Amino acid sequence: MFSLKSLAAPLLFALLSASAHADEAAIRKNIESRLGAKVQSVTKTPYAGLYEVIVEGPQGLQPIYSDDKASYVFMGAVFDLNAQKNLTDERMQKLTAVKFNTLPFDSAIKVVKGNGSRKIAVFADADCPYCKKLEAELQNVSDITVYTFLYPLDQLHPDAGKKSKQIWCAPDRAKAWEDWMLRGSLPKNDGSCDTPLAKTAELGKKLNIQGTPAIIFADGHRVPGLIPAAKLEEMLGGKAGK
């Protein structure tokens, strides 16, 4: 027998779904027209009735937050004080995660320390002082494989491109890299061999690598800047095999 009660639940669900889609469409339209930012996604959050809006900005993908009509938006971090979590930071880690095994490792300098079981990739500039400090810190990390992508920032370090080519063209690239970064000794060649620097530059642009060093872990998350050896060990899960 037909009854209003039997219709109530699915009808309510349909109305709520339609309302949610309408809110998302309105938010997308208002953000794009008023802020001039391309919206990639709109998602209702479980907190404060807010919507997370992922926009494409000059620094790559970025989350902003909106009411249900995009009359008010704010940019900044959302903290869950009960869980002591930076929700925005966690979301950014997911948005910027890299599929580690898809990186073109044949375009990187590979250095294996110990059993090499733990892996990171590093985008590094040959004249970046913090890259040199990171290389020194890596001497205190064991059981790790480091893939270094030569990523000269020409505007900051005009000679880094030439030095990167010389290092890549050396018979032993791993030794040449460490000799330069740790001891200031460049290989004696003119850097005229084929190098992957142009391809790496395109990769860095695609991944929105803004500075060096930029470290990518095997689980895909990335960290910009220098990490001391002790902190790196902690982020890698401690000593391999423990």
- Please name which of 70, 63, 73 lies closest in space to residue 26, comparing C-alpha atoms: 70
pLDDT band for 5, please (50, 70, 90 cuts).
very low
How do the residues of the chain divide into helix, strand and coil, expressed in percent and rounded to 5?
40, 20, 40
The per-residue pLDDT for range 118-174, each reduced to its tens digit, is 999 999 999 999 999 999 999 999 999 999 999 999 999 999 999 999 999 999 999
User: pLDDT over 90 for what percent of the chain?
Assistant: 53
SS3 92: helix
pTM, two decimals, is: 0.72
Which domains, and CATH codes, for the chain?
4-95 (3.10.450.70), 100-235 (3.40.30.10)
**109 pLDDT tier (thresholds 50, 70, 90):** very high
pLDDT at residue 122, as a whole number = 98
Report angle CA 182, 213, 122 to the nearest 5 degrees: 85
Region label for 104, one of left (φ > 0), alpha (ψ between -120 and 50) or beta (otherwise): beta
Which residues contact residue 138 at a Cβ distance below 8 angstroms, ignoring those fewer than 6 apart?
111, 113, 144, 146, 229, 232
Tokens of 90: 């966690």
Q: Which band of pLDDT confidence, cut at 50, 70 and 90, is reported for residue 229? A: very high
